[in-house]
Amino acid sequence: MTDSQSLADSPRVVLVGTQHPGNIGSAARAMKTMGLGRLMLVAPERFPDPDAYALSAGANDVLDRAEVHATLADALADCRLVIATTARQRTVPMPELSPREGAQRVIAAQAMGQVALVFGRERTGLENEELQLCHASICIQANPDYSSLNLAAAVQVVAYEWRMAMLGLQAPQPAPPADPDDLPADHAQLESFFSHLGAFLDDIDFHKGKAPDMVTQRLRRLFLRAQPDPRELRILRGILSDTQRLLQVSRKP
Ligand code: SAH
């Protein structure tokens, strides 16, 4: 595995709301040691910052290339697989993987398109709304009484497993399908489907005055697990649109 190969295929590391720029620098260093080079920062508290460069110890290029985004959804728009990292299971039910299993999943998906590994804030981690944008989560099984790693240390563990999995690849990766309709839908396509589905459920008064959160979460889980392709999403949206149109017709006086 050469650096240029790994950079082209490598998953992006997305750090959300990082509070200490030193951690951004240490994360960049952790990434570069493992051959990862694509860093995205979502609303960092301070960046660019001399402390980030001080702790990157020569991984300046990773910091120089880092993209800053206002929201996590922006950073993930073109991703076909998104994996969160959390020290503990939240109220959002999602498949939980070990770093090793996560690395296998990333490698299987990276031939198909963009993959993101998402890391949370030092103090509070990832919020539930952010976890809901992800297909699965990686948990580093640490000391149960003290399970929260430093952000850059967590990046190091996950990046190491990715590198080991890459080095262990025997056969060359299969070529991705030529037609993008044969790939899993990307994040932006899925989110647009979810907002259509939300509007549809309102139109048919599915929630009957109750809070929609639980149902919305479960439906998100279902579709994130199924990883529909764009063609399948178009069929689903067609069904929603046709039903909405019929409803409008039948409601006309
Ligand atoms: N108090 C926070 C800890 C955040 S640590 C919380 O409970 O969520 C900062 C980030 O490092 C986390 O959001 C996560 O991305 C990563 N991280 C830390 N420890 C981890 C662990 N044991 N497994 C997976 N990710 C971890």
pLDDT digits (tens, 9 = 90+) for 117-155: 999 999 999 999 999 999 999 999 999 999 999 999 999
What CATH number corresponds to the domain at position 201?
1.10.8.590
* Summary mean pLDDT of the chain: 92
Answer whether 19 contacts ligand 1 (Cβ < 6 A). Answer: no
Structural domains of the chain, count: 2
The terminus-to-terminus CA distance of the chain in angstroms comes to 67
User: In which domain, by residue range, is 95 found?
Assistant: 4-167
The angle that helices 187-203 and 213-226 make with each other, rounded to 10 degrees, is: 140
Residue finishing a domain among 126, 144, 167:
167
Residue finishing a domain among 167, 190, 220:
167
Amino acid 178: pLDDT:
84
Does residue 114 carry a pLDDT above 90? Answer: yes
Q: E-assigned strands of the chain?
A: 12-16, 39-42, 67-69, 79-85, 96-97, 114-119, 136-138
Q: Are residues 162 and 198 in the same domain?
A: no
Top mean pLDDT of 4-13, 84-93, 120-129, 165-174 is at 120-129
Residue 175 lies in a domain: no
pLDDT-derived band at 9, boundaries 50, 70, 90: low
Q: What is the full DSSP assignment across 165-190?
A: HHHT--SPPPPPPSSGGGSPP-HHHH
What CATH number corresponds to the domain at position 126?
3.40.1280.10
pLDDT-derived band at 204, boundaries 50, 70, 90: very high
Answer whether 125 contacts ligand 1 (Cβ < 6 A). Answer: yes
Average pLDDT score over residue span 187-199: 96
Give 93 or 215, the one with higher predicted confidence: 215
Amino acid 13: pLDDT:
98
Give 137 or 5, the one with higher predicted confidence: 137
CA of 196 to the centre of ligand 1 (A): 33
Answer whether 116 contacts ligand 1 (Cβ < 6 A). Answer: no
Reduced to 3 states, what is the DSSP secondary structure of residue 63? helix
> Which pTM value belongs to this model?
0.90
Amino acid 4: pLDDT:
47
Answer whether 142 contacts ligand 1 (Cβ < 6 A). Answer: yes
Q: Are residues 86 and 41 in the same domain?
A: yes
Q: Are residues 129 and 191 in the same domain?
A: no
Does residue 89 carry a pLDDT above 70? Answer: no
Q: Are residues 39 and 144 in the same domain?
A: yes
Q: Are residues 185 and 163 in the same domain?
A: no
Percent of the residues in the chain that have a pLDDT greater than 90, as a whole number: 85
Q: Are residues 184 and 145 in the same domain?
A: no
Amino acid 26: pLDDT:
98
Beta strand 39-42 pairing with 114-119: unpaired
Q: Could you report the per-residue pLDDT of 57-77, keeping only the tens digit for each?
A: 999 999 999 999 999 999 999
Q: Which atom of ligand 1 is nearest to the CA of 140?
A: 23
Q: Are residues 11 and 129 in the same domain?
A: yes
Does residue 160 carry a pLDDT above 70? Answer: yes
Distance (Å) of CA 61 to CA 3, 56, 65, 156: 13, 9, 6, 18
